[in-house]
Structure 1
Amino acid sequence: MLTIWGRQNSSNVKKVLWCADELGISYEHVVAGGAFGVVKTPEYRAMNPNGLVPCIQDDGFTLWESNAIVRYLCAKHGEGALYPRDLTQRAMADQWMDWATSTFTAPYKDLFLNTVRLPAEQRKKDVAQRGLQACADHLSIVDAALAKKPFLSGSDFGMGDIPLACLIYAWFEMPIQRPALAHLEAWYRRLALRPAYQSRVMTELT
């Protein structure tokens, strides 16, 4: 039995819950992290010494780090679908997964915290503006890639789309001035047709 720990408003937890729903996996979801606590307990730290979410246990196997979890679930339950059999296609999916985390997440976090999550009196407009500009620059790269194929994973939706897609919902829902990126917008519209994306990612911004 698969158990997933994490709070639903965490973009990293959204990756795992969405992925599991896309794959049709049965699982138990334990809300944890942030205001929900749990992550500082000795029991949780024994699973994830970082004290972060998400974390999973799958028939006695424990794993943390959201991208690693998505890869594991897709490899176990979605080979040939969300997890490409072809090595080059899988490498391209890995590339976009890691890019979303290593390149896009930091400026996105600056923008999101100072536009949505922090109390109004704590928000820094200059930090938000720098984050907005950096995100726009980075997303122009994504837009160019999506001009050549409908998904970051290739011709079909796959694991390579999941990390960035969990952030792109907020990009389009935040009260910000976004540049026109037609291919990115079309990708987002395709994602928004997926029931699991609607239920796990397209939720209230908090």
Structure 2
Amino acid sequence: MGLTVHGIAASRALRPLWAATELGLDFQHVATPYQGGATRTPEFLALNPNGHIPVVVDARAEGDVVVWESMACALYLARHHGVADGLSITPATAREDAEALRWSFWVMSECEADALTVLMHRVVMPVERRKPELADVAERRLAVPLRVLEQHLAQQQARGEAHLAADRFTVADLCVASVLQWLRPVRELTEPYPLTREWVRACVRRPAFAAAQALGVR
């Protein structure tokens, strides 16, 4: 039996790589880039017919379990390879599990596309290829979910919990922070949301995040 994660950290594969690292799992990392045709080989398409990373292959006694979609990969690892002891990133109660599910789906539906647009057209793409008007629209849309998250974090602080689902870092924080950390270079966008900004900063300061990022090129 063994666990394999296909992908590189300079992609959405960061999510399962980060989760596996937080959990201290012994896993094989297959550094599969999203460019150059590596995800279009017959061997890879047999794992994920969509031709995208990441893919997690969990070799279990009852047979291999193959998981794709980055959030699903992270949630799967927390649920099936973590311990629900109230200490790890694994949800320990029904409430924590519900929070992990809802915030992971929320960030994908409400934030990811616009956050990626902002990152690409404010930071990553060559200046001559950027379209600031697209980033402007994306930033205006992001104001709504960022207010929702800021309000939730305020409510959590009021109940003595500094994270999304509990008083500790869980897979809920990992999944949401993996998206919202794309906004960190655009400081003026996050300035109106100090709790969110500090929460993201705390998430990405975790040693497991840095360790997972180091898997971006190998």
Q: TM-score, normalised by structure 2?
A: 0.85
Aligned position for 2:109:
102
Q: Residues of 2 paired with 1:54 and 1:161: CA distance? A: 19
Q: Is structure 2 residue 17 aligned with structure 1 residue 17?
A: yes
Counting only pairs closer than 5 Å after superposition, residues 146-157 of structure 1 correspond to structure 2 as: 146-149=153-156, 150-157=162-169
Q: Residues of 2 paired with 1:174 and 1:108: CA distance? A: 10
CA RMSD of aligned residues (A): 2.1
Write the letter of the residue equivalent to 1:6: G
Contact 2:21 2:211 in 1 (8 A): no
Aligned position for 1:180:
192
Contact 1:13 1:54 in 2 (8 A): yes
Instruction: Using the TM superposition, give the Cα deviation of residue 6 of structure 1 relative to its aligned residue in structure 2, in angstroms.
Output: 1.0
Task: Summarize the Cα distance change of 1:112–1:94 in structure 2 as closer, same or farther, 3 Å threshold.
Answer: same
Aligned-pair identity (%):
28
Q: Residues of 2 paired with 1:184 and 1:178: CA distance? A: 8
Contact 2:39 2:51 in 1 (8 A): yes
Q: Is structure 2 residue 39 aligned with structure 1 residue 6?
A: no
Q: Residues of 1 paired with 2:151 and 2:108: CA distance? A: 19
Query: 3-state SS of the aligned residue for 1:173?
Result: coil
Instruction: Using the TM superposition, give the Cα deviation of residue 189 of structure 1 relative to its aligned residue in structure 2, in angstroms.
Output: 3.3
Q: Which runs of 5+ in 2 are unaligned?
A: 157-161
Query: 3-state SS of the aligned residue for 1:4?
Result: strand
Instruction: Using the TM superposition, give the Cα deviation of residue 177 of structure 1 relative to its aligned residue in structure 2, in angstroms.
Output: 4.5
Aligned position for 1:200:
212
Instruction: Using the TM superposition, give the Cα deviation of residue 173 of structure 1 relative to its aligned residue in structure 2, in angstroms.
Output: 2.2
Instruction: Using the TM superposition, give the Cα deviation of residue 162 of structure 1 relative to its aligned residue in structure 2, in angstroms.
Output: 1.4
Q: Residues of 1 paired with 2:65 and 2:111: CA distance? A: 30
Write the letter of the residue equivalent to 1:91: A
- Deviation track 1:3-62 (CA, whole Å, cap 9, x = no partner) reads 11112211x211111000000001111122333531000010011000001001111321
Structure possessing the higher relative contact order (Cα contacts under 8 Å, 6 or more residues apart): 2
Query: 3-state SS of the aligned residue for 1:148?
Result: helix
Q: Aligned residue pairs: how many?
A: 203
- Deviation track 1:93-112 (CA, whole Å, cap 9, x = no partner) reads 21101001111111112211
Task: Summarize the Cα distance change of 1:202–1:134 in structure 2 as closer, same or farther, 3 Å threshold.
Answer: farther
Contact 1:169 1:202 in 2 (8 A): no
Q: Which runs of 5+ in 1 are unaligned?
A: none
Query: 3-state SS of the aligned residue for 1:82?
Result: coil
Write the letter of the residue equivalent to 1:200: A
Query: 3-state SS of the aligned residue for 1:131?
Result: helix
Q: TM-score, normalised by structure 1?
A: 0.89
Query: 3-state SS of the aligned residue for 2:182?
Result: helix
Q: Residues of 1 paired with 2:171 and 2:215: CA distance? A: 20
- Deviation track 1:69-97 (CA, whole Å, cap 9, x = no partner) reads 11211112223232223212211221101
Contact 1:19 1:162 in 2 (8 A): yes
Aligned position for 1:136:
143
Q: Residues of 2 paired with 1:84 and 1:116: CA distance? A: 34
Q: Residues of 2 paired with 1:34 and 1:174: CA distance? A: 25
Which residue of 57, 65, 68 corresponds with 2:72? Answer: 68
Aligned position for 2:203:
191
Contact 2:115 2:182 in 1 (8 A): no
Query: 3-state SS of the aligned residue for 2:83?
Result: coil
Contact 1:33 1:52 in 2 (8 A): no
Contact 2:34 2:52 in 1 (8 A): no
